[in-house]
Chains A and B, each alone.
Chain A
Amino acid sequence: MRRNTILATIGLLIATVVVIIGASFLLSPKPNTQTSMTDQDTGENFDITVNNIKTGGDTPEGTSGLRVIFGIEKFMNAVYKDGPTSSDFATDVRNAIYKYSDIRLHNSFTSITLRPQNLVISKSLITGQLRLGQSDKFADFSVQIFADGKSSITKITASGQKDFYYIGRLNALNTTLYSAQQDDYSIPSVTINTFAYREAALESLKDLGYPISDLNIKFTGYTNPFL
Chain B
Amino acid sequence: MKKRIILLAIIAFIVLVGIFTLSYVTSHHTITFILKGGTYKVKIFTADNKQLTELSSPSGKAWLQKGEYRYAVSDTKYDTSAHSFSIDDKDKTITIDPAYSAQYLSELLTDSERLKINALLTPYLSKINTPALASIDRIQLYSHGEWAAGMLSYQASRRDTVEYYRFVLHKDDNVWKLVVPPQIAIYGASYPSVPVSIIDNLYAKN
Contact = CB atoms under 8 A, between A and B. Distances in A.
B165 A29 contact: no
Contacts of B184: 198-199, 202, 217, 219, 224
Nearest to A218: B185
Interface in A7-61: 8-9, 12-13, 16-17, 20, 23-24, 27-33
Contacts of B200: 211-213
B24 A16 contact: no
Query: What bracket does the count of chain A residues touching chain B fall in?
Result: 35 or more
B9 to A, nearest CB: 4
Given A12-B13, A20-B20, A213 B181 contact: no
A29 B127 contact: no
B54 to A, nearest CB: 17
Contact of B17 (A8, A9, A16, A224): A16
Contacts of A109: none
B65 A198 contact: no
Interface stretch (B71-79, B99-107, B152-160): B152-160
A227 interface: yes
A226 B152 contact: yes
Interface in B79-96: 84, 86
B187 A198 contact: no
Contacts of B117: none
A212 B186 contact: yes
Given A211-B200, A213-B187, A33 B47 contact: yes
B163 A31 contact: no
A196 B186 CA distance: 18
A24 B23 contact: yes
A214 interface: yes
A199 B188 contact: no
B20 to A, nearest CB: 5
Interface residues of B, number: 53
Contacts of B13: 12-13, 16
A1 interface: yes
A227 B65 contact: no
Contacts of A27: 24, 65
Nearest to B164: A199
Contacts of A12: 9, 12-13
Contacts of A9: 5, 8-9, 12
Contacts of A202: 184-185, 203
A31 B188 contact: no
> What 6 pairs between A and B have smallest CB-CB spacing?
A29-B67, A213-B188, A217-B185, A32-B68, A9-B9, A213-B199
18 contacts: A1-B2, A9-B5, A9-B9, A16-B13, A20-B19, A29-B46, A29-B64, A33-B48, A196-B160, A211-B203, A212-B186, A212-B200, A213-B186, A215-B187, A224-B183, A226-B152, A226-B183, A227-B181
Interface of A: 1-2, 5-6, 8-9, 12-13, 16-17, 20, 23-24, 27-33, 196-200, 202, 206, 211-217, 219, 224-227
